[in-house]
Each structure stands twice: as structure tokens, then as C-alpha cells.
Amino acid sequence: MPDLQTAGGVQKCVCLDRVGFDRLLLLLKPSKTRDIFERIEAFRLKAFGQLAEIKTEIAPVKPEPEELDEVVAYDLREAAQIAELTGTDPKLMQAAALRRHKNDMYDACAEVLERQALSVRHGEPGWYNPSGLVELCGDPHLTADRLNKWLENYREDGEWRPFQYREGRLWRLTKRGMEHGREYSYNLGNGHSEPRISWRASVLYACGLKRDLAPDQVMLPQKSQY
């Protein structure tokens, strides 16, 4: 006889717990049919269950991952291929491809790619890797590899005056190259680092790939070799 506190006062009510239910079954005359016992057991489980023994854990529903739009995915792959063919930074090309779709999420992704590309150009504005220098030249036939070889084999008045040289597979600055470039430690992401070179745009004028315009010039003449 549990007491319940209500707004109208203490109310007494009678309820049947599991022990009382089992005792009630003892007073009933057993049936000779198996069906009755199965129904009683089903009622027992439905009414009381096995509270101490059964613990059902419902796994959280994981949302299905959204697939990247096929058109966007195609544009990203195409941008990477164009970057490889033109010797430009693939992150910048893919950022431009994302911005074409006028989507807030894609704009945010494009901003991340652009920041990564700028970090590859190493530090404060005005420093560039070879691919960045190629972009400043605007010559579709110039690649980062050809630019590096030009800086390595540069001659002035018949005299060999390079800006960089090979040390194994790495590029290192010559004394003259130090006037326009700097070496820094590049993190390879595997616990190791190696020296890399970043350049000021002034090296393009020093090596002759770009020249200041004369007062009567409207465009720079193209060079025949690099």
C-alpha cells in the first residue's frame, strides 16, 4: 500500500508488484493446455520484464557521409591536371575551380587552399618558390624546371654566373644567389627536413627573364631561350 503525496493530500492506492503477481498465479487453477502457461509467461515479461538482466543499448545512428558533387570533383581533377601541364600551383588552380561554383562551403575550402599555397611560397609577401616565379613571368612555355636550370646555368657576357647550384638532388644558393634568395628548412612531414630556396622577384630581373620597360616600350620582348 504505497502512499502518494498529491495536491489534495496523501492518497493511498493498491498496486500489484511482481511478488504479488507470482502469488496470485499460485491461487489460480493450472490449465492443462500449454497455451495458457505461455500466455501467462508472456504477460509476466510484458508487465515486469527482466529489469536486472536485460540491458538494451541502442547504437547511435551515424549520418551517411555526403558525397562530393560529381561536377565539383571533375573540376578539381581537371584543375590539378592543368596545374601540372602549366607548372603552376595546383592548390591555387583548385581554389579557382571551387570559387566558380558560388557556394559558401566551397569558398571556405578555396580560402584554405590559397593559404596553403601562400605558405608554400614561404613566409612574408614577396618571397616565391620557382612555381611562384613562373606565374610572375606569365610565359606559358616557362616551367619551374626550366627556370631552375636557367638560374643554374646563367651566363653574363660569356662568364658563368649562376644563382644556384646542385648539391645531390637539392638546390643550394651561390654567393650571387644570396642577394635575391634565401635558404630555409622545409618540413617533409615525416620527422625530417631539408633545405629549400625561396626567391625575391628581383631575381627575375637579375637573370634577365624580366626587364624594366623603357619609356617608349609598351610590352617586353620575349626571350628565345631559358
Quick one: which of 217, 182, 223 has its CA closest to 199?
A: 182
For residues 60-75, b (16+ Cβ closer than 10 Å) or e, as one string? eeeeeeeeeeeebeeb
pLDDT exceeds 80 at position 140: yes
Alpha-carbon span 103 to 84, nearest angstrom:
26
Quick one: which of 114, 100, 95, 96 has its CA closest to 71?
A: 100
Confidence of residue 91 (pLDDT cuts 50, 70, 90): confident
pTM, full prediction:
0.42
pLDDT at residue 122 in the model: 43
Q: What is the pLDDT of residues 172-207, one digit of tens each?
A: 999 999 999 988 888 887 888 899 999 988 899 899
DSSP 8-state assignment for residue 177: G
Q: Which residues pair with 165 in a beta bridge?
A: 172
pLDDT exceeds 90 at position 3: no
Alpha-carbon span 210 to 203, nearest angstrom:
9
Residues 6+ apart with CB under 8 A from 110: 94, 95, 96, 98, 99
Break the chain into its structural domains and give their ranges: 3-48, 69-120, 127-214
pLDDT at residue 30 in the model: 55
How confident is the prediction for the chain on average, in pLDDT? 76
Q: What is the pLDDT of residues 17-42, one digit of tens each?
A: 666 666 666 665 555 445 656 666 67
Helix (H, G, I), strand (E, B) or coil at 14: coil
Taking residues 71-78, report their average pLDDT.
89
Helix (H, G, I), strand (E, B) or coil at 17: coil
